[in-house]
Amino acid sequence: MSNIADNLRTYLHSSHLRLIERTSAVCSSRSEKIYLAGGVVRDVLLGTTPSNLDIVVVHPQYEFVDHLARGIGGEVVSRSQFDTFKIIVSSDEIDVATARREEYIRPGALPTVEETSIEEDLSRRDFSVNSMAVSLNQDSWGELLDPHGGEGDLKQKLLRVLHERSFIDDPTRILRAIRYAVRLNFHIHSETYRLFKRDMVYLQDISGDRVRHELERTMTEPFAWDVLLRGEEEGVLSAIHSGLKFGRIHNAVNTSNEQRVEGNDVVLAALIYFSSDVQMGELAIRLKMGTRWSRIVREVRLIKSASQRLRAPGLSRSELFTLLCDLHPEVIHGCAITTQDTAVKSSLYFYLNDLRCIRPSIDGDDLLALGVPEGPQVGELLDRLLHDRLEGLLSSRADEEAFVVNKLKGCLD
């Protein structure tokens, strides 16, 4: 059995290393077996620093988690129905789970769980590279448990499920497969790929919350665009809903680094831009969208419905500003990337790059100080100053003050 204590020391964030050393010490007088498991093991074997710590404890005795939290100076902040816990220590988080077996009554349903051994816990997992554990007990610190050949698959850059029903049990693994394939630059093993294609249909069975959560995770990846483009190529997005499509932006996104902007609102706006109104409505229901996502859908709809005005040759700078100023820049950006209409695209980029931050230099207090009486005239003047700034009729604070003074003297309309 190999020992990867060196990898832990080298690649774990120093505060994470301290935390697992303290965890090990706190548990030294107890009988439970404790492990780091899942992505954290994969990452340290790949020589990268994991962002989170997942600890698995086998057959914990009563109040194990509270004992652990107290011992490492942390606080248990959440407990789930599946015996998983989150402990916060200063600014770090540890996820603690009881080693468990999972049983799925039907595809996509949440599993029923039962306590079990670490080996069985590892065999319920998604891919071999995520199915390894490292002992944190003092007498076996750093020993690697790799019953499914995860280390070998890491070396061969392969994603492989552990059994034939893996994607049926949990169809979110289909999305996870493309996420890891792109992030790690791994191949999906041929048999796994056959199952991936075969079982994509089960994506229809998972709840809106679970699909949305998986999409959200994907959108925060640094390679979100690539993952989702791959998802579209493979038919994963359309298996979720026909309204999720990048359509014709494929080439644009593939060829231009400039457009690989991060931020999940940008990606979501781009992803739904080509959906019809009906599809957007259906998507909102299918993905059980909350306030933020619904707002993005609404704003994309607004931009699409303003297309005619956005492409009109005589559109003034202030009209363009008024059309877009209440919308989130990320959404405008997503639409700008996606639209194939060059006139609309240049209006959206012109707003984002040139107009969006234009404001008058003077504010309401300045106007009062210049002698404008309190009341509606203040707001009207501010609107006028903004308009003239946008149109390039005023270009400095001095211009603005002169404008206001002249206005007060009655020299202007």
Chain residues that interact with ligand CTP, rule: CB under 6 A: 38-39, 54, 125-126, 130-131, 170, 172-173, 176
- CB 305, CB 280: distance < 8 Å: no
CB of 381 to ligand CTP, least distance (A): 52
CB of 270 to ligand CTP, least distance (A): 22
- CB 175, CB 236: distance < 8 Å: yes
CB of 131 to ligand CTP, least distance (A): 6
Residue 214: how many other CB atoms lie within 10 Å: 20
| Cα–Cα distance for residue pair 24/5, rounded to 1 Å | 13
| Cα–Cα distance for residue pair 312/343, rounded to 1 Å | 8
Comparison of 122 and 382: residue with beta carbon closer to ligand CTP: 122
Distances in Å between the Cα of 270 and the Cα atoms of 212, 242, 402, 411 are 16, 14, 44, 49
Would you state the structure tokens that stand for residue 86, as one six-digit string? 């989150």
Would you state the structure tokens that stand for residue 334, as one six-digit string? 């997503």
Number of helices followed by number of strands (H, E) in the chain? 23, 11
CB of 319 to ligand CTP, least distance (A): 45
CB of 240 to ligand CTP, least distance (A): 15
Phi-psi region of 73 (alpha: psi -120 to 50; beta: other; left: phi over 0): left
Comparison of 12 and 404: residue with beta carbon closer to ligand CTP: 12
Comparison of 74 and 150: residue with beta carbon closer to ligand CTP: 150
Query: DSSP letters of 31-83?
Result: --EEEEETHHHHHHHHT---S-EEEEEESPPTTHHHHHHHHTT-EEEEE-TTS
CB of 53 to ligand CTP, least distance (A): 9
Query: DSSP letters of 86-150?
Result: EEEETTEEEEEEE-EEEE-SSTTSPPEEEE--HHHHHHTSSBGGG--EEE-SGGGTTBEE-TT-H
CB of 204 to ligand CTP, least distance (A): 17
In the complex, residue closest to ligand CTP by CB: 39
Comparison of 127 and 351: residue with beta carbon closer to ligand CTP: 127
Strand runs labelled E in 132-284: 133-135, 144-145, 158-159, 187-188
Comparison of 48 and 256: residue with beta carbon closer to ligand CTP: 48
Burial grade of 8 (CB within 10 A; 0-12, 13-18, 19 or more): buried
Burial grade of 106 (CB within 10 A; 0-12, 13-18, 19 or more): exposed
CB of 24 to ligand CTP, least distance (A): 20
Comparison of 186 and 274: residue with beta carbon closer to ligand CTP: 186
Comparison of 122 and 268: residue with beta carbon closer to ligand CTP: 122
Comparison of 173 and 286: residue with beta carbon closer to ligand CTP: 173
Comparison of 38 and 243: residue with beta carbon closer to ligand CTP: 38
